[in-house]
Structure 1
Amino acid sequence: MNQYTELEAAKRCVWDALQALAGPDAAAAAAQVLTPGSEWVVSHPVNALAGPGEVVAQFITPLHRALPDLEWRPDLFFAGHWDGRVDGGAGVWVTTTGHWLGTFTQPLWGIPASAEPAWLRYGGFFRVVDGRIAEGRLLLDLVDLARQAGCPVLPASTGQALLVPGPRTRDGVLLSLQDPDLSAASLALVEAMIGGLGRYDRNDLKSMGMGAFWRPDMMWYGPGGIGSSRGIGGFERHHQKPFLTAFPDRKGGNHRARFAEGHYVASTGWPSVRATHAGPYLGEPASGGPITMRVMDWWRAQDGLLAENWVLIDLPHLFLQFGVDLLARAADPSRAVKR
């Protein structure tokens, strides 16, 4: 099987799997679409899962119980090869981000039900081996779900709190294969931009040279608690400045997968960032301790510049390292953050 046929087969596998896992026979489907030793890591409080039984019991079943009319609504879906040069995971990966939509009828991981429609934003990376999912990495925007349920766990975001959309071009679900030269160019652009991030001098945001990589009308779609912004100025104001004030020594690494297909690029790491919590962040004072972050990014390139960036961070996991349990706040109305 050549690499392009392999990508097509992996896409079919993951597409069919995620459709089935959102359906009424999810438990039976998991036994078919996951390898017996499939290893998943889901955002806190689910964390590490081993094998289809744990995936069903600790992730799929609670999700269906909370959102019984569950729908899978992907905005991005594409695939690529990763050589595993940083943190292992070599092979064929499929990534997707979008929402699980359903009526929120039962509590989910401490977040009380609203009895209203809820859009649970998700991001996933799946490594496919011999036609089955051998590894899954999933981040869920539980901070935004708590906001939708009326029990905010963080102060109001300075960026816009909105239903994060798919790409402006409405072409993010790539079921067919894309031009490999275009894919290589998109990946090179993202890696050059990441190289710019590494040039931060801890004084001036412009030292990173982000204007060379982004369109003036770029959109940055952050997780709940941070929000979305437009243009380099909005990106700096709502994300980069607060983030670098809190974590001035941040270092990237431990990439589990990074690849491109067509105009789209994806990257994840566990942890993707290591830093010292040296300043206030999202309402919490500096703890002074070391932290790690689970992060997922997806980018869309257009005419040699980056036009859109979707970002998820496992904020409940991060805040545990500050000594703060965000999901305990959600479960206890008396601890909800006043806005």
Structure 2
Amino acid sequence: MSTIIKERVQNKQKIHEFSNKIHEANLDNIEDILEEYFDHNAVWHGPHPINQLDGLENITEQFYKPLLKSFPDLEKNNFTLLSGSFGGGEWVSTSGHFVGTFENDFLTIPATKGAVWIRFGEFHKMENGKIVETRIIIDLLDLMRQAGFKFISALGAEIVNPGPASHDGILLGESNSEESAKTLKLIEDMIYKGLRDDYREKGMNDMGMELYFHDDFMWYGPGGTGTTRGLKGFMDYHQGPFCQGIPDYLGGNHITRYAEGKFCSFVGWPSIYATHTGNGWLGIPATNKKITMRVMDFYRRNDNLIVENWVYIDMVDFLLQLGIDVFDRMKNSKYVFK
């Protein structure tokens, strides 16, 4: 095993260990736990309204302690974990759910006193066995829905999305480099040929998505969009309305992107630049506003096609750019669907 592969495996095992320790965490020991895994000068980028935290003390006090106060029995259940290098940096990415009893308000979202499943995707940049940078998207819009505040009538199914149907998303060892390269090529072709070039030249109806996605693939989208099944469901309930709403979107601006085995992940912060010139997506009339989108994607390939795709978007940040402040609407119970 090469030195870089050995380091990568150690990084993955470190992040897996950290995720498991969250269930042991409380307000008294969280500082010690975080100090074991984070560099003191780490930078944390998260969803609006938290956004950016500099240094371990701020990460502890402004994210992890409020999270544990709101969900005292918190578990962090990863269903994918993979690693790779990009731009000279080493990264580990995970996705899954924070699961816990919603005992106290979180970011002013009212506590339900019941169990909640909070979708998340995250990327950790590693140096010398420590986390020096984190990018994490927590699906706050879906947490609001679970708390009884629904601002958008999603076209897709609003469910607790599962992990990989293959039950093999936690990649703790060394992966086959040929399989990894095959996965990365498929994803990059889909992004840069299908979603970008073919869309620009031929339009939404001739993007060649059948070259990349299985007919019955599962697309697990963010709050406001929901989950879709198959190419038709994906085009009808997400991709079609999305392209109509922001037809000039420019994606693929990734901070990191890599594949391991049959899995691939990327994050852009922002990943998409666009103008909201069309009606339809999320049921919102065109605002003609310039927008950006923080996006994470996780994929699973089977044979030569994508069979599962988990998508995380900072929807609260995106909606705020359109003049829709969901925290204000929640506080004042405005425009809430029942």
Class of the TM-score when normalised by the shorter of the 2 chains: over 0.9
| Letter matched to residue 286 of structure 2 | A
> 1:289, 1:301 → 2: CA distance?
36
> Superposition pairs for residues 2-151 of structure 1, below 5 Å?
2-22=3-23, 23-24=25-26, 25-82=29-86, 84=87, 90-151=88-149
> 2:20, 2:50 → 1: CA distance?
21
For normalisation by structure 1, the TM-score amounts to 0.94
SS in 1 for 2:64: helix
| Letter matched to residue 221 of structure 2 | G
Matched residue pairs, number? 331
SS in 2 for 1:252: coil
> 1:65, 1:233 → 2: CA distance?
42
| Letter matched to residue 119 of structure 2 | R
| RMSD, aligned α-carbons | 1.4
| Structure 1 residue 19 displacement after superposition | 2.8
What corresponds to 1:269 in structure 2?
Answer: 268
> 1:157, 1:202 → 2: CA distance?
29
SS in 2 for 1:224: coil
SS in 1 for 2:165: coil
Q: Are residue 165 (structure 1) and residue 162 (structure 2) matched?
A: yes
SS in 2 for 1:268: strand
Q: Are residue 190 (structure 1) and residue 187 (structure 2) matched?
A: yes
| Structure 1 residue 200 displacement after superposition | 0.7
What corresponds to 1:311 in structure 2?
Answer: 311
> 1:165, 1:74 → 2: CA distance?
11
| Letter matched to residue 179 of structure 2 | L
Q: CA 1:337–1:203 in structure 2 vs 1: closer, same or farther (change >3 Å)?
A: farther
- Superposed CA deviations along residues 53-88 of structure 1, whole A, max 9, x for unmatched, are 111111101111111110111111111111x2xxxx
| Letter matched to residue 325 of structure 1 | D
What corresponds to 1:87 in structure 2?
Answer: none
What corresponds to 1:229 in structure 2?
Answer: 228
> 1:38, 1:78 → 2: CA distance?
21
| Letter matched to residue 48 of structure 1 | Q
Contact conserved, 1:151 with 1:336, CA < 8 A, in 2? no
- Superposed CA deviations along residues 176-227 of structure 1, whole A, max 9, x for unmatched, are 1110110011000000111211121487423211011111110000011100
* Identity value in percent: 39
SS in 2 for 1:254: coil
SS in 1 for 2:283: coil
- Superposed CA deviations along residues 9-53 of structure 1, whole A, max 9, x for unmatched, are 111221222333452222211122111210110111110111111
| Letter matched to residue 290 of structure 1 | K
Q: CA 1:188–1:64 in structure 2 vs 1: closer, same or farther (change >3 Å)?
A: same
SS in 1 for 2:199: coil
- Superposed CA deviations along residues 148-191 of structure 1, whole A, max 9, x for unmatched, are 11121x22211010110001111111111110110011000000
SS in 1 for 2:72: coil
| Letter matched to residue 47 of structure 2 | S
What corresponds to 2:248 in structure 1?
Answer: 249
For normalisation by structure 2, the TM-score amounts to 0.95
| Letter matched to residue 328 of structure 1 | D
| Structure 1 residue 336 displacement after superposition | 4.8
What corresponds to 1:326 in structure 2?
Answer: 326
> 2:257, 2:200 → 1: CA distance?
26
Mean CA deviation greater in 255-264 or 19-28:
19-28
What corresponds to 1:302 in structure 2?
Answer: 302
| Letter matched to residue 231 of structure 2 | I
> 1:172, 1:45 → 2: CA distance?
30
In structure 1, stretches of 5+ residues that fail to align are 85-89
